[in-house]
Amino acid sequence: MLTECVRYFALLSAIPHSIQTASSLANKFQFIRFRTTNIPPKRLGKKAKRLQNLSVHWLIDDIDTPPSLSASEIDYVNRLFQANSRLIVSTSDPNDLPEWNIPEVAFAGRSNCGKSSLINAMLGQQGLVRTSKTPGRTQLLNFFSVGGKKGSLPTMSVVDMPGYGFAKPPKAVVDAWDKLVGGYIENRQAGLLKNLFVLLDARRGITTIDHEFLDFLEAMESLYQIIFTKIDAVPKTELEKNIREVLAMKKLGSRRGMNPIVIATSTKEAFGIRQMQQQAVYMTGLLTKCVR
């Protein structure tokens, strides 16, 4: 059953996805932007100066607000990500997942959306997450540690999911992707999987294949959050247009599982990385251990 459910979005579709309703609504409501950049002005390059006036968090007015962390909670998050992360498990079998009781946050996105770079930036270790030279050919779930002491279980895990939307894959690759991704979500979403970050390339905006993946997540009643990557590569007006389009879907009610807060990031300019770390930990519920 999972194969039939997932197959339709693993391949690129030639049929355009109509989002005219969402697009038309996008300009009819207001959304709040929160500017949070801590780069010293004297160190800013040309692109960083442009990003200085952009927001990390984008949300629909009166819907929600970004989590407000206390000083002790921020310190807790920082200490988690200061610990050396490592690859704990790689698996191509959804029935062979780590048997532990630690929270997981997963990252999904179409091939070449900047997923590996963002995870590396969050974990503070360039090269830890590697990009396949042939997108779509490596079908693995990779579990990385966050926090914890050497020789013990991590405090939480970041899960790198195989990319979707790769062009013309062999049938065997599609079948493996179907089984792995659908099986992982079905297995974990009722317990250990606390949030699924869906990454969108700001240069492309939301595409047909992204819509199809979100349709699948909605069918599985998954909770997920949209993250824009590579925002340094697009003009401000184009970025705002792309984000409005995504927020309009939530406003319309067509994306019930979508978090109403969109996060904008740039790994090249270290923009939004700390906020991503904080959001990941916040969604796990680990901050309840902190004293405000």
How would residue 253 be classed by pLDDT, with cut points 50, 70 and 90? confident
Cβ proximity of 133 and 72 under 8 Å: no
pLDDT in tens, 156-203: 999 999 998 876 777 888 788 888 999 999 999 889 999 999 999 999
Between CA 269 and CA 44 the distance in angstroms is 9
pLDDT at 96 over 90: yes
pLDDT in tens, 37-84: 444 445 556 666 667 778 899 987 656 788 889 999 999 999 999 999
Closest CA to 280 of 85, 112, 126, 78: 78
**Fold of the CATH domain 2-11+36-287:** Rossmann fold (3.40.50)
Q: Where are the domains of the chain?
A: 2-11+36-287
Cβ proximity of 228 and 144 under 8 Å: no
Between CA 278 and CA 95 the distance in angstroms is 30
Range 240-269 average pLDDT = 93
